[in-house]
Amino acid sequence: MKKILFASLVLILLPVCFFAAAPQGLDELYARTLRAAETGEKPFALLLKDGTYQPETVYFTDTETGRLIMKMTNGYNQNFHTERIPVWNCDGSRLVFHTDRLKGYNWMMNADGSGLKRIPGTNNYFCLPVWDKTDPDIMYSSWDDVVKINVKTGVQSVIRTISDKNNNPKGVGLWCTLSPNSYLIAVRNRPSLAMGSYIYTMKTDGSDFKSYSLDDLVAGTAHNAERFGGGLHSISFTNKSDDSFTFGFGLDFAVGEFFGFTCNINGTLVTNETKAALRFGHSANSPTGDRIFGYTQKGLCVLDKATNDYKVIWDKTHVDDGHTSWRNDLAPEWAIATPGPEGKDPIINHRRMVMRFKVDGSGEKEVLCNTFTRSLWSTTGPTKNQVEANSVVTNYNTYARGTVNRDGTQVHFTSDILAGYNKTDLYIVFVNPIKETTSVISSSAVKNAEKQYTVSWNAVSSPDVHHYNIYYSSVSADFPADQAHIIASMPKSMTSYFDWEAESGKPAYYKVMAVSRSK
């Protein structure tokens, strides 16, 4: 009864800031979000051990689709990614993300959530790093220099110096993944923001360097100085073997990510794409570069670049804006989209969903999960608007921005589902069913300080054990180990968890379950 009264009181005090019920039935995690303002700063020093921070992962089940979801970060910060650059390295063992924790910049973790740390030497970098196509330890990043970083050894080397802070305070960013033949694209806006941007292409060793000004490359085109600083809105390699790239900018191509203009790697403008008449936006190139999937005036479409023919995958009466991803080169028959609440289809119903679509025109589609993007905020504070719109979201990163891994089995997205104002977390939804079995194991908890406990257990020797779930209650030791009480999921290599968010002034009860997955 006390728990119910407490939740009701919170909702009376904060009626426009939070959902009426815990999203995904994650009652305890949601309660911790409500207590976050009084909890204080995250004790990073206490969470650091052997050079990495305690994993922030939580596994739970999507209440709508039954699919397994992995929460990757804890929402005391802005944690986000971009759908234009894969978060996973080439073998799927690591992923990267942006964050504003500890002065921000780029961080990484292993696929199971372990190894959480700041990427060495990334204090001056602007865009998410780009992974190498064949070496899982190598990434590239940039600001004034384009650098190569070995994330295993921490060694970094400059492969090209492009600008300096005095002449280009905005620096240089790598905006997209490598081309088929391992070219990089770096981009910077003019400091005056007067007209266009500069594009730099080079090999990953810095060779074959070329520099282009958009004003020269696309002469006579009206660059819009009011939106996007008069520069590019997006740029990407086409994924074709010729290493060509496409770009769009200004009002006419405000969301024309891969449409508007195509250029070859030598800097020659190939064509002004006539298919831009479809007004493709938030689009994704197929892994082989022969097709494009994205939002158009006709709905979600797939277009064949060679023939200029297109198929409507989901028409405009059902879907409107969102983001797309098609990087699953090992299983390219599906493309990913995160259609937004503007769509009219009951599947969406004023929500932002993670979905996948068969690109053969068969109409086959699946909802993978509901992102529960909250979007109750304006730039000046909370609003009562329960329907997401670009003018009232916490920030642009609550758009979910799903990106898919190479074999199409995992989709990474961003959401403020369990975060506070202007805070976002990273999630992964697993596309295929995962069979799990659980068993309660013996554990103990030691109080370190107010609200802080160390929970310990003995490792389970079974090779099928995948991770350990930790559950919490401040009411009774006789509580169910369920989704309403879960607070963390630790990798199988760990045998303790430091809880710094327990409820103040109340007892703390914990349970640990070993989670096994059968092959």
The domain that holds 44 is classified in CATH as 2.60.40.10
pTM here? 0.87
Least confident of 211-225, 228-242, 252-266, 361-375: 252-266
Rounded Cα distance, 57 and 70, in Å: 7
H or E stretch at 37? helix 27-39
Rounded Cα distance, 361 and 333, in Å: 11
Structural domain contains residue 244: no
| Contact of 109 with 95, CB cutoff 8 Å | yes
| Contact of 473 with 485, CB cutoff 8 Å | yes
Structural domain contains residue 495: yes
Query: Could you tell me what percent of the chain has a pLDDT over 70?
Result: 74
Whether residue 170 sits in one domain with residue 97: yes
Whether residue 136 sits in one domain with residue 96: yes
Average pLDDT over every residue of 401-419:
87
Average pLDDT over every residue of 304-333:
87
Among 154, 174, 194, give the residue marking a domain's end.
174
| Contact of 262 with 244, CB cutoff 8 Å | yes
Among 174, 190, 218, give the residue marking a domain's end.
174
Q: Name which residue leads in pLDDT, 315 or 191.
A: 315
Average pLDDT over every residue of 470-487:
97
Whether residue 106 sits in one domain with residue 33: no
Whether residue 146 sits in one domain with residue 97: yes
| Contact of 280 with 294, CB cutoff 8 Å | yes
Rounded Cα distance, 388 and 320, in Å: 12
Structural domain contains residue 241: no
Structural domain contains residue 375: no
Structural domain contains residue 345: no
Whether residue 116 sits in one domain with residue 39: no
- Statement: residue 511 has pLDDT above 80: yes
User: Domains in the chain: how many in total?
Assistant: 2
Q: Is 216 exposed, middle or buried (0-12, 13-18, 19+ CB in 10 A)?
A: exposed
| Contact of 501 with 39, CB cutoff 8 Å | yes
Among 174, 202, 229, give the residue marking a domain's end.
174
Whether residue 152 sits in one domain with residue 90: yes
Average pLDDT over every residue of 113-138:
81
Structural domain contains residue 334: no
Whether residue 92 sits in one domain with residue 46: no
For 473, the domain range is: 29-54+438-517
Least confident of 145-159, 342-356, 387-401, 474-488: 387-401
| pLDDT reported for residue 351 | 74
Whether residue 170 sits in one domain with residue 89: yes
Rounded-to-10 torsion of CA 60, 63, 67, 72: -30
Structural domain contains residue 97: yes
Structural domain contains residue 24: no
